[in-house]
């Protein structure tokens, strides 16, 4: 994966976040209230001075009723056909080193495929708001994933899959000493 694709995400995200906020006619304070994030943090992200964590991206995308993939996506003409691995967008959480690869951002169908690598002894929390307008399923490719869906805990091993239920706060946790890799299929409403 080219570092250039990953490095270009901070300014792209800064511009996209500001564009989406302004398109809705929201002030920084209004987005901050809806997302449960400080106004100062949103301002830093919009100026390209801070790279948000996965949990923060989940809050922002939920407040905007957008998937994380859509918020991180490159603007431009919709793509169809083959998207080579080297062209797939890669983003790394600056706090946990959680990595997400945008395998498919469906243009002619409401489907997204995201490959995630969760480092050992790491967890990422996502708010219910980030799931309110989508349906998801996961398939663990390798490793172990403890997935907390509200009060329910699912232990998934390589090859196991899970269709998520109604939107609730979730936690993705890798309790082991090995990386966990899984695929998330997102169906947009």
Instruction: Note whether 145 and 118 are within 8 A (CB).
Output: yes
Structure confidence at residue 79 (pLDDT): 62
Nearest-angstrom CA–CA distance, 29 and 109: 34
pLDDT at 175: 97
Task: Give the pTM.
Answer: 0.85
Residue 78 vs residue 32, higher pLDDT = 32
Q: What domains are defined for the chain?
A: 3-72 (1.10.260.40), 85-188 (2.60.120.10)
pLDDT at 1: 35
Q: What percentage of residues in the chain have a pLDDT greater than 70?
A: 93
Q: Is 76 left (phi over 0), alpha (psi -120 to 50) or beta?
A: left
Is 118 a residue whose pLDDT tops 70? yes
């Amino acid at each position: 994966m080219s570092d250039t694709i990953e490095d270009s995400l901070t300014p792209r995200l800064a511009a996209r976040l500001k564009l989406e906020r302004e398109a809705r006619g929201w002030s920084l304070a209004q987005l901050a209230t809806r997302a449960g994030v400080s106004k100062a943090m949103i301002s830093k992200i919009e100026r390209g001075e801070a790279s948000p964590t996965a949990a923060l991206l989940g809050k922002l995308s939920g407040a905007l009723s957008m998937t994380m993939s859509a918020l991180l996506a490159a603007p431009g003409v919709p793509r169809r056909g083959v998207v080579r691995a080297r062209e797939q967008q890669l983003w790394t959480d600056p706090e946990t080193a959680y990595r997400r690869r945008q395998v498919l951002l469906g243009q002619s169908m409401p489907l997204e495929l995201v490959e995630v690598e969760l480092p050992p002894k790491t967890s990422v929390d996502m708010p219910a708001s980030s799931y309110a307008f989508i349906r998801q399923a996961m398939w663990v490719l390798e490793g172990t994933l403890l997935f907390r869906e509200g009060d329910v805990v699912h232990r998934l091993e390589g090859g196991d899959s899970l269709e998520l239920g109604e939107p609730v706060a979730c936690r993705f946790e890798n309790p082991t000493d090995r990386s966990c890799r899984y695929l998330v299929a997102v169906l947009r409403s």
